[in-house]
Every structure is written in structure tokens, then in C-alpha cells.
Amino acid sequence: MKKKDFKGFPFIEGGVCAAKGFRANGIHCGIKANGDPNKNDLALIVADKPCTAAAMYTTNKVQGAPIAVTRRHLEDGIAQAVIVNSVNANTCNADGEEKAEKMCVEAATALHLKREDVIVASTGVIGQPLPIEPIVEGIPELVKGLSTQGNTQAVNAIMTTDTVPKEVAVEFTVGGKTCRLGGMLKGSGMIHPNMATTLTFLTTDCDIDAELLREALREVVFLTLNRVSVDGDTSTNDMVCILANGMAENAKINAESEDYDTFKDALYTVLMNLARMMARDGEGATKLIECLCDGAPDDRTAEIVAKSVITSSLLKAAIFGEDANWGRVLCAVGYAPADFDIHEVNVTLGSEQGVILVCEDGAGVEFSEEEAKKILSEEEIRIHVTIGKGEGVAVAWGCDLTYDYVRINGDYRS
């Protein structure tokens, strides 16, 4: 991705329904006995015509059954619908793939599509058989309620321990035509994406070549979703997918070009904002931690250092306590498996309240504890680590470690 200034894009409403020719819906079908009837658990996204589609999946060796099924269905690079449930991950069950296929078949039948054109995803508890009956019984209602304003119901359905829905969409111009790209994402624990992400669903009406769509997704995911960690646990069900229906009627993006760069910038804007929202809403989190590492010999080294910082449990707890314990930043920089001279490391802590230097050339400098406290009282904390004089730079996002993380995860299955 070229390092140039973004022009910036106007944000628009609508999430997965922002792009032309996409409808969505979400319902409570009752996968969990006695579940909250006001919390949806099943969502559907449908395009008006077949889409060029791309996806990336978790690198965990344990992979949810829906991932195996989606991989097969996307072999031809074409999809037209996404069905997704929360509550149950449909992972580590003997009959998992059969049930994931069943979800596709039922959705395809109701929508008059081929089952191979349906993407399926699940999120929730691992290792409990998926109750398929409420899903099958819910699909007619789900299909009936599809609308171009259905993104709100859909995003509600993919939330698990998320406290806020996460949707972003932007408008951009390709070849004189207005295009839209939007998406929704669920967090908020077991978040340490590796070559893929948590569940993220993207839609666009931009017309783009399948290979370029895959390449853009891969490139941007590495810079956004893969730069987030909530708890260091890489999920078994991570998936990000994008559907492009071409209904903006732009001249198809067929080559690396200015148009392609614009598309990638739009994708970056959506995914970077979703990534930040995911980190900010990490399980139990009260603060977003953004670590910028620069001066590295290369971007990869900068990424390793930035991720090491935002992953440190000790630092995360200190940020929760609004304690300017910068020694923990340096400690995490120090154990990052990367090559640089620790005596060239500078660290600043910042937020809306200002920025202070706390470490220079690998050693502490005096600073005002009062000022530090004020800076750390904000909800977005920025840690800037410079590790030398190189050109490498990377940003990573995490969150603080709180009592609520322990509460939420001490008894998640109940």
C-alpha cells in the first residue's frame, strides 16, 4: 500500500446495505433456549445479482465447520448471499459441516439461488452441537423481512459480547461513477487475528476484477484487522468476506490503476475504522490503545513491535489503571522478536489531552505525573514508539485489560 495522504471519503449510513443492490435482515430465531428475544441471532445479506467475492480465513488449525463450507462455495469466486448465526460457533462438532451446508441450502432455496452462492459463518461457543431447527424455521421470516435498511437488524444478529454494533460505510468515485463500500464486524473477545480476522462482512457496488478484489482484501486486512489484539487468542471462526455486485456501473477496475488505489483506500477506510471500533469494544475494555511504531528498518519490524506493545497484559492493566508505567511499554518493546537497538528507543504517551515524552534513548526522562494522569484519563490512548532512524512504520490497536474482561470470560458459556 503506497504511503500517500488519503484524500478521505465521506462516511455514509447503511453498513452492509450502503452499497446499491444489497438487502439484509436479522431476526431472533432462538438458537439459545431462553435467549433474550430482543437479541437477534441470525442474519442474512443478499445481493440483487451474483457478486464477485473474496474471503480470508483464520489460520487457527481448529477451524469452524462454516469455514470449510464457505471455502468450497467460494472456489468459483462467486457469491450472492451470506447467512450467519451467533450464539454457537458450530466448531468441533461431528455433524458441523452437514449443518453448515443445511444453512446454505435452506437460505438458497428461499432465495431461489444455488447453495454454492451462499456464504455461511457462525460465532459463539465452541464444541456444542448447533441447534439447526430454529435456524431452518427462522429462514422464511428472515427472507421475508429483507430490506435495504436491514443492516441494523443484521449487525445486531452477529453481536456476541459486543456492547455496540460496528458498521462503517463510505462513498467514493471511480471513473466518474459514485460507488459505495460498507461493512459490519463483530468483536469482541478471542481477538488476535492472524492472516484473517474476526467475522467481518463487506459489500460494495463497485465493479472490480475478482483477482484484484482478492488482492485488495488481503493487502488491507494485513494493515487493519490483523493489527488488532484484544486478548492474544486467535479465533477458530475468523472470516472476512466481501461481495462486489458491480451495480455502481463504473468502468470495471481491471488493472492496478488510480481507480484501484481509490478502491483500496475506501476499503482501508472502512476496515481501519471497523478495526478501531473492535479494539475499543474489546471485552470489558474502557479504553482504546493505539500504538504507532516508526523508525524501524522495515514495516514488518514496526508491526511486530507495535503488536507486542498492545498485546502486553501488564501494559493493558496499567492503562486501565491510568498509570503511566512506561517501563512496561519498554519491556514489551524489548521482548518483541525483532532486530533493533534498544538504546535508540523513544516513547511518548498521548491523547486528546496532549503528548509527553517518557523515555529517550532507552532510558527514562522526567515527566509530570499530573500531566501523565490527565493524558491517560482519556478513552483513546496513543503510544508512539520510535525504534531508530529507518523508514518502517506500523500502527496496531488494542484495549485495556479490566475486571470486566475477567467477569465476562470467567463464565462465558452460562
Q: In the complex, which residues of this chain contact a second copy (CB under 8 A)?
A: 59-63, 89, 91-94, 125-129, 189-190, 192, 194, 231-236, 311-314, 317-318, 320-321, 323, 325-328, 330-336, 340, 342, 359, 362-364, 401-403, 405-414
Which of 9, 282, 75, 62 has its CA nearest to residue 163? Answer: 282
CA distance 46 to 116: 14
Q: Least distance in Å: CB of 94 to a second copy?
A: 5
User: Could you confirm whether 197 is annotated as catalytic?
Assistant: yes
Compute CA distances 329 → 96, 306, 358, whole Å.
Answer: 42, 10, 10
Compute CA distances 73 → 21, 52, 291, whole Å.
Answer: 21, 12, 38
Tell me, letter by letter, the H, E, C secondary structure of 193-231: CCCCCCCEEEEECCCECHHHHHHHHHHHHHHCHHHECCC
Compute CA distances 62 → 226, 359, 386, whole Å.
Answer: 18, 41, 37
* 3 phi/psi in degrees, rounded to 5: -90, 85
Q: Which CB sits closer to a second copy, 27 or 347?
A: 347
Q: Least distance in Å: CB of 296 to a second copy?
A: 14
Q: Least distance in Å: CB of 341 to a second copy?
A: 8
Q: Which CB sits closer to a second copy, 20 or 227?
A: 227
CA distance 214 to 191: 23
Give the SS3 label for residue 82: strand
Q: Which CB sits closer to a second copy, 92 or 105?
A: 92
Q: Which CB sits closer to a second copy, 165 or 189?
A: 189
Q: Which CB sits closer to a second copy, 82 or 319?
A: 319
CA distance 240 to 224: 12
Q: What is the DSSP letter of 11?
A: B
Q: Least distance in Å: CB of 124 to a second copy?
A: 10
Q: Least distance in Å: CB of 347 to a second copy?
A: 10
- 239-244 and 42-57 strand pairing: antiparallel
Burial class (CB in 10 A: 0-12, 13-18, 19+), 175: middle
Q: Which CB sits closer to a second copy, 194 or 353?
A: 194
Q: Least distance in Å: CB of 192 to a second copy?
A: 8
Give the SS3 label for residue 62: coil
CA distance 152 to 359: 45
Q: Which CB sits closer to a second copy, 20 or 287?
A: 287
Q: Least distance in Å: CB of 102 to a second copy?
A: 18
Q: Which CB sits closer to a second copy, 267 or 333?
A: 333
The number of residues in the chain equals 414
Cα-trace Rg, the chain:
22
Q: Least distance in Å: CB of 121 to a second copy?
A: 17
Compute CA distances 153 → 14, 25, 285, 328, whole Å.
Answer: 11, 5, 24, 42
Residue type, 242: I
CA distance 6 to 132: 45
Among candidate residues 123, 152, 197, 311, the one labeled active-site is 197
H runs (alpha helix) in 26-95: 65-73
Active site residues: 197
